[in-house]
Structure 1
Amino acid sequence: MKSQSIYPQITISFAQTLDGRIATCNGISRYISDEASLEMNQAMRREHDGILVGIGTVLKDNPLLTCRLDGCTDPTRVIVDSRLRLPADSQLVQTAGSVNTLVYCSTEHLKGQHQQAEFLRNAGIELIPLSPETAGEHFRHAPGLDLDQLLRDLKNRGITRLMVEGGSGIITSLIRLGLWHRLTVVSVGKIMGSGIEAVGDLGIRDLKKLLRPEIEDIRITGREAVWYMKNPAPPEQKGSVPAGPSNSAAADESASADNAKLTPGSQQQVKKPAPFPRAGSPVRMVYFTGIARVELRKEKLRRPKNGEVVVQSLAGAISPGTERNFYLGRFQRGAAANPDMDFTDEVLDYPFSYGYINVVQDEDGRRYFAFAPHGDFMVISRDALIPLPHTLTTDQALFIPHLETALSIIHDSGVQPGDRVLITGAGVVGTLCARILRSIPGVELHIIDPDLRKERWFLPGEFQGDFQGISQSDISIEVSGNPLALSPLMEHTAFEGRIIVASWYGDREISVNLGRDFHKRRLKLISSQVSSMGRHMGSNWNKDRRMEKVIRLLEEIPVDDVITHRFPLDKAAEAFALLKSDELLGLPLLIPDYPDRPTAPGL
């Protein structure tokens, strides 16, 4: 007897370049495909009674999501917008009175944003709250909505054929969960290079476990190839999973790693890590041993104290700023470290182990971010581990400290809508500052960096290699790490403007002119340091709240394109050598190798 699906028939459709990109690294996607496939997309909309996108797609593309063919009935528009960020001037809101529009949001944000909710309802949009507390962890899509609950609700509303057009997060979640029936992919005869991929990390680390959709047809139209595929094990063949508290991540922890199929209610599971080394066993750690010298040393794993735990590194990143100063000897040797700023309590003198960007897992396979040094296994306080949601990949999580720094800089700057902002330094932090600032209406953004290769990370007109032709800014942000950048930055700051100094220059002396012009223009020179929060933020803000916001932002802001190098841990010396060369562009990663040790999803 054929089982009846509890979900609509779900078709995922997207167009991508030959190298698998659906948008540039700054989110521009209109239009990758040619006219023929755009017409095909309209024909597909005519065949579906619902069309679903995430809020990220709405914010970047401002789509209409209607069917423009003659005699076509517009499908119901479904928006996944957990925090009710749908803009009032978007085409979706402006046309909601004539086209059925549903917005799925979190119960928490629906209760907390009465004015926005009332406005959207008055515009003709139906708001449907989903309760994260009843959602199974593995069903969740960033930042916490339950796709199972959402799809069941759509089916109950009479939507039987659902077309999913993006973005990348939604597509990845549905494929990872196995919640799809058909897949239509337009492969466009173009190459982009760095950009946003259609399908993110699925946790697959074994070529034998690659997903293999059943190919129904391949059609060539002009410079495009259209792949028509179906799921060999669609949701209704896998058995339904009850919604509610019983459908939890804990219930899936014992699932077998040998099951390569993605079933509803579970990510592709991996076995728990092989037994961790015991106290006294040899482990590997990266040590700074002298100026421009690092070594991978073996040492004995110490016994955890009460409240501590042994963790295994899945991946680490090398900070192009702080670690460059330590690597090149730009620090006061013999000084006691400040644990809040230096992420270590050691005396800063060679040799010492260091690092503060690490994604780790415990013996149960749970992933965390840790401000921990580079190595393969280490002991750390359990209170210092920051749990990571399943929706966040390991690559994304490695940007936590840089994005926290960027957010702290924006908070300290006091940027307002319409401000003209000038940034010196298009490194990792400068790039992330720019991507946050783009979400503030009317901000005019300029980034100065002599390395013209970094222009790829910015929108047209934002980036240039020098100050030529730059107007004076309301807010100036110095994140280049170069002391020589501060004086020209001050010269290009307007009367009563604010200059935020977020670079750490190590032990190098800084020379700036604080003479007549500085005083006459009433410039404000402000230090920004992520280890604390300014009082101007108010009593509701603390570091825990900021960290929660950072993790949510990582599910919205593209960061993968800023990763430029990957090295195995035993090549740490080669990785650090980039810090003294012109080759380094973005964020280099160190990936420990573990023969016969499975790793957790998301790397």
Structure 2
Amino acid sequence: MHATDVTPKVWDRIVRTRAGASCLCCGDWSAGERAAIGLYGAMIATPGTCHVAAQIGQSLDGRVATLSGDAADVSGPDGLAHLHRMRALVDAVVVGVKTALHDNPRLTVRLVPGRNPARVVIDPSGRLPNDARLFAEDGARRIVIQTVDVPRPPGVEVIRLPRDTWIAPRAIITALQGKGLHHLLIEGGAITIARFLEADLLTRLHVAVAPLLIGSGPQGLTTQPISRLAQARRPETQVYGLGSDVVFDCLVGTRAAPCAWPHAAMSSAALHG
């Protein structure tokens, strides 16, 4: 396991590299700072490529909340800071409507220095109220993906997509690329992350484990069942100690896929706002 030290100096270098104003190939770093560069440097996508990461925080026994739905303290303080760092390194953070309704998240980088990403909610039926915190005007782009004609607050971009039982993950990524958002973080909930994983669209998956036992409640990732362990995914994984939490950095797809936009199957009429 890599003991990770995200000092202000190394985080400033990572943020400036993300902005194209510096690099990670030189510098006098401690072992812990070099681990931080390994963890977060991998989140910086090469221009012209599409990078889709996901992050989930869970307990030692694989739970993400209690039976009553309390998920506020699953991740420790260092796990929460890690999530905010991941947000700072992407173009957009994506959540499903159930997460948006239950947690009413802000999806900002308020715990670390950095730029707030665009905020995207997948809301097929238009259930999220317009006073949700992720729709608040703070300078960041706000996007809702839906299948119905539900009015949204001024400045909120609306993407209309068709669906069967759920909007296809590939259609979501293609539409966001069409909006200039190529580097994405799928933040939750677990079902939304699982859909992108099963569609083989994730580049990386971060599983942040906090040292607590919940005992019951919803599990983390739940994908399609397999009959034999030989069928299980065994991603290339690095493990990082972040103080209160341990992060498993799993390479689950190609390191950087060429951006798919423009996509022949996506007509311009499918995009609104």
Q: Identify the TM-score tier after normalising by the shorter chain.
A: 0.7 to 0.9
Q: Which residue of 2 aligns with 1:163?
A: 185
SS of 1:152's partner is helix
Q: Can you list the C-alpha shifts for 1:93-116, whole angstroms capped at 9, x where unaligned?
A: 3x136321100001xx22xxxxxx
Alignment of 1:492-507 (within 5 A): none
Q: Which residue of 1 aligns with 2:144?
A: 103
Alignment of 1:179-258 (within 5 A): 179-215=201-237, 217-233=238-254, 236=257, 243=265
Q: Which residue of 2 aligns with 1:152?
A: 174
Shift of 1:242: 6.9
User: TM-score normalised to the size of structure 2?
Assistant: 0.72
Q: Which residue of 2 aligns with 1:42?
A: 84
Number of residue pairs aligned between Structure 1 and Structure 2: 219
Identity over aligned pairs, percent? 27
User: TM-score normalised to the size of structure 1?
Assistant: 0.34
Q: What residue identity is the alignment partner of 2:145?
A: Y
Alignment of 1:130-529 (within 5 A): 130-132=161-163, 143-215=165-237, 217-233=238-254, 236=257, 243=265
Which fold has the larger relative contact order, with Cα–Cα distance below 8 Å and residues 6 or more apart in sequence?
A: 2
Q: Which residue of 2 aligns with 1:438?
A: none
Q: Which residue of 2 aligns with 1:380?
A: none
CA contact (8 A) 1:180 1:235 kept: no
CA contact (8 A) 1:179 1:235 kept: no
Q: CA RMSD in A?
A: 2.7
Task: Name the CA shift for 1:204/1:242 in 2 (closer, same or farther; >3 Å).
Answer: farther
Paired with 1:196 and 1:8, the residues of 2 have a C-alpha distance of 31
Task: Name the CA shift for 1:162/1:63 in 2 (closer, same or farther; >3 Å).
Answer: same
Q: 1:18 aligns with which of 60, 66, 75?
A: 60
Q: What residue identity is the alignment partner of 1:174?
A: F
Task: Return 5+ residue gaps in structure 1 as ranges.
Answer: 111-116, 133-139, 245-603
Q: Which residue of 1 aligns with 2:106?
A: 64
Shift of 1:28: 2.0
Paired with 1:201 and 1:70, the residues of 2 have a C-alpha distance of 32
Runs of 4+ in 1 over 6 A off after TM superposition: 4-7, 239-242
Task: Name the CA shift for 1:6/1:60 in 2 (closer, same or farther; >3 Å).
Answer: farther
Paired with 1:205 and 1:96, the residues of 2 have a C-alpha distance of 48
Shift of 1:219: 1.7
Task: Name the CA shift for 1:210/1:234 in 2 (closer, same or farther; >3 Å).
Answer: farther
Q: State which structure, 1 or 2, has the greater radius of gyration over its C-alpha atoms.
A: 1
Determine which structure has the larger strand proportion and give its number.
1
Q: What residue identity is the alignment partner of 1:57?
A: T
Task: Name the CA shift for 1:178/1:5 in 2 (closer, same or farther; >3 Å).
Answer: farther
CA contact (8 A) 2:119 2:141 kept: yes
Paired with 1:91 and 1:224, the residues of 2 have a C-alpha distance of 27
1:126 maps to 2:157:
yes
Paired with 1:154 and 1:222, the residues of 2 have a C-alpha distance of 34
Task: Return 5+ residue gaps in structure 2 as ranges.
Answer: 1-45, 267-273
Q: What residue identity is the alignment partner of 1:193?
A: G
Q: 1:78 aligns with which of 112, 120, 124?
A: 120
